[in-house]
């Protein structure tokens, strides 16, 4: 029987803590796919809210990493996408543009709110800065979302916007308001 000898290269304590929070946030994003909240008459999930929270509470790097973990897990078979679906095809499906830009969204929120590697308390950051981060992330995700849909289904950009982006706007405005309320409550600490 073969044996292998080598020393264990331990992961640093601060990396383990950030990593565990990123992994659990990715799992939370997956769990929210199962929770439908009726928003403006249409059942919506809270995934965009988790993208905001990833950038706000984990910062740009670990926030984007958390969302990448979510996408990878879903792509590799965890039923974490909308409608409990999974598989690599979902990442290239009709909502692929939204999904693939979620990490960019978290990166943008984190970069604008924290402005560097050192994490700030989001509750102490000026409200217009937080709003700017959330709006910038939403615009980028929406742009990529409907442009992707227009490309894969060979529809025009206005048609694609009407089909995949317009119905989501009321819900995402509400999630932005919820993210701001969560930040202002100050009950959650950063890493």
Partner 1 sequence: MLTYEPDDTFAHRLDPRSKLAVQIGFAVTALAHTTPRALVVFTAFTILGLAAAGVPLWRALYGYRFALPILAAAPVISMLTIGTPWLVPADGVDPALASYRVLLILLFSAAYVRSTPARDSRAAIQRTVPGKPGQLLGMGVGLVFRFVPLLLADLRRIRQAMTARLGSERSVLDRVNRIGVLGLSRAFTRADRLSVALQARCFSWNPTLPALSFSKLDWAVCAFGAVLGLTAVL
Site residues for partner 1, window 73-112 (CB under 8 A)?
73, 76-80, 82-90, 92-95
The minimum distance between CB 130 and partner 1, in angstroms, equals: 14
Residue whose C-alpha is closest to residue 179's, from 118, 132, 120, 111: 132
Q: Between the CA of residue 98 and those of 15, 77, 103, 110, 152, what are the distances in Å?
A: 28, 19, 10, 18, 13
**Considering the rule CB under 8 A, would residue 1 count as an interface residue with partner 1?**
no
Distance of CA 114 to the CA centre of its chain: 17
Closer CB to partner 1, residue 115 or residue 189? 189
Task: Out of 51, 53, 134, 165, name the contact with partner 1 by CB under 8 A.
Answer: 53
- Cα(145)–Cα(139) distance, integer angstroms: 10
Q: Between the CA of residue 82 and those of 43, 74, 170, 180, what are the distances in Å?
A: 11, 10, 18, 24
CB half-sphere exposure, 181, CA atoms < 13 A: 7
The minimum distance between CB 57 and partner 1, in angstroms, equals: 7
The minimum distance between CB 53 and partner 1, in angstroms, equals: 6
Q: Between the CA of residue 64 and those of 44, 82, 105, 158, what are the distances in Å?
A: 22, 20, 8, 29
Task: Out of 67, 154, 157, 165, name the contact with partner 1 by CB under 8 A.
Answer: 154
Token pair 């999974």: residue:
86
**Considering the rule CB under 8 A, would residue 8 count as an interface residue with partner 1?**
yes
Task: Out of 47, 55, 57, 98, name the contact with partner 1 by CB under 8 A.
Answer: 57
Task: Out of 60, 63, 65, 133, name the contact with partner 1 by CB under 8 A.
Answer: 65
Closer CB to partner 1, residue 57 or residue 102? 57
Q: Show contacts with partner 1 in window 18-47 (CB under 8 A).
A: 19-28, 30-32, 34-35, 37-39, 46
């Amino acid at each position: 029987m073969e044996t292998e000898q080598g020393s264990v290269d331990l992961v640093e304590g601060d990396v383990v803590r950030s990593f565990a929070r990123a992994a659990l946030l990715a799992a939370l994003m997956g769990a929210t796919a199962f929770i439908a909240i009726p928003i403006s008459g249409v059942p919506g999930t809270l995934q965009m809210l988790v993208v905001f929270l990833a950038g706000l509470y984990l910062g740009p790097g670990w926030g984007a990493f958390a969302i990448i973990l979510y996408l990878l897990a879903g792509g590799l078979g965890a039923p974490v996408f909308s409608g409990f679906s999974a598989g690599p095809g979902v990442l290239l499906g009709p909502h692929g543009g939204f999904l693939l830009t979620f990490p960019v969204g978290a990166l943008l929120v984190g970069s604008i709110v924290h402005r560097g590697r050192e994490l700030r308390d989001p509750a102490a950051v000026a409200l217009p800065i937080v709003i700017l981060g959330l709006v910038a992330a939403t615009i980028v995700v929406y742009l990529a979302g409907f442009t992707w849909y227009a490309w894969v289904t060979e529809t025009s950009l206005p048609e694609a916007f009407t089909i995949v982006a317009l119905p989501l706007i009321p819900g995402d405005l509400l999630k932005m308001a919820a993210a701001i309320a969560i930040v202002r409550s100050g009950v959650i600490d950063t890493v």
